[in-house]
Structure 1
């Protein structure tokens, strides 16, 4: 691969700029600046719908060395708004590689920048907090920095953004159970990654992947054994329709499991608030304690919002929908952020991280088995 020498500039909302070389498509892009601490899995990151309208900064210094392939995508397209790296690999050296990353980005129209001091940029965001950013290359970079800054500051913020419907499937599809069919699950696609229904399918679950606009009556018509809410982008405070849907699921006592955005929506359905983190959790190395077992897991995470729930155990759900007691089941050991909720009187739980581990460690894969146990217990109770 011949590295691009076209000039590019990165402009932050607070006026700080970084100059480098174009990487991927030439042009301009705007979005929220977020940094990812993963040392691997850049292809899974790029195709994660949760990064919609965000410009990803890779803290790992060398990117593109394993190329790209057709097997590791987590969705049908690259979702990031832009891409920032330090050193672009000159070669793709992996037996599974089917092309190089820069070409894939260019073909997908993703504007990126390389030769940036990503360490300095990340440290700045850790101190100043997540903010809007723009990448400009080619003719777009030739205007004054004041004009570029004005574009960045005029772009929409992530707070208040309703994005799940923009990344969700528009029609239902079935991921069939592998081997003996044990259960069926309605998976509400708020930005779902392909590995999630696969993890359920591997355990004998028929997974109905459904649009974010699905109704409770439509879910009931499927006669499923459980309901799942996926990860996804945007501000959970905007997802009123999905919160009301979830409350109907909880009132019907249908077993529920949610991850990431789904965890935030369970929090809202139970009556808790949500808030924006200063710079979020994004990587595959975040330590979390499962308070139900006292075991520590290294988790894969990608979220900029969190549930505002007390860490006290057995707290009555604030919502007046008679959901009983709830406890914070998981907590982040870096900053005490709520990483999971477990209802004690209805069959529902959720986690803020990604047990499907694409990419990432497999410490939390047991959570899918816990969901199956919940559905099995519900069937026994109804017998």
Structure 2
């Protein structure tokens, strides 16, 4: 079975459902999950899909069906996971600067909870004491990730409890008899160097003696996904080998078997996604050849927000002569998808496909300029199935109250 969707199939989907259109390849998600399982075979690990990347309920149901667990960043994501069929023991909730009421709701749902502030850790202790196990998210002061916007472990990051506050953590643990069963660190996204994860393991190694209830060493996610043809992703087999060695070291030293958790998001869904757009206008100026499409950062903000690269293809004219284009959106802001990009000759009404659009595409979308969010389609077992309708004007107005 092909793990890509052909130009002809994408064109047919655009004809049937219109553009802009998100299409996701279910079997590609399955294949990515299987790669992780194969690489880590024999290594005591669990994988939780970081669903902030893409939360469409049908996608979540597919991920649940292939045996993956799920990582949630909000209580609403927890509720979506439960609705998609995940059992509470399959759900990890890692909070970040939220009201304690959200943690209460997560406990009531029976899911695993990680806490990232001393304030909420103390509130948790007062509310639950030793009655409910809890994990803590630490800030390791490690700079990692593709750029500062997606680096979360450095010493200026808002995420996690700084390691320098270990004494405060231990004081709260002892005061409230907290059962801290998980230590969690997530250093960032687009991590290619597997040694970043081993640095995290070294930090855990020194912390183990302080936490007698510890069972889980959570190394977060952030596996590198190749966006350009000359890029390489995280070497997952090498990571698995090194993690296995680390776990053996922990067991030999402490006489206890720990489980390692990872939360891949982009790794599972990025490459499964395609954003199909139509070309509205070709605008040739003395210095730039613009191809203006019927989308913008209201549908895919990564190129503008993160300066992220996405491969762009002209599936209407795949054999046309190569020209250099600025591919721009139709939003009343600067929204360049690409600049000086070589693409087969683009004509008005051609279909352009933006690849690697499965993660943080639709999920970070908006109705800016009162434009509609696109439809979403899941390609599974050779069939295209609509999993979210395109917005209508009713969707724009549905929560507004018109005063007389």
- In the superposition, the TM-score normalised over structure 2's length comes to 0.25
Q: Which has the higher contact order (CA 8 A, sep 6+)?
A: 2
Structure with the larger strand share: 1
- In the superposition, the TM-score normalised over structure 1's length comes to 0.26
Structure with the larger helix share: 2
From the CA coordinates, give the structure whose radius of gyration is larger: 2
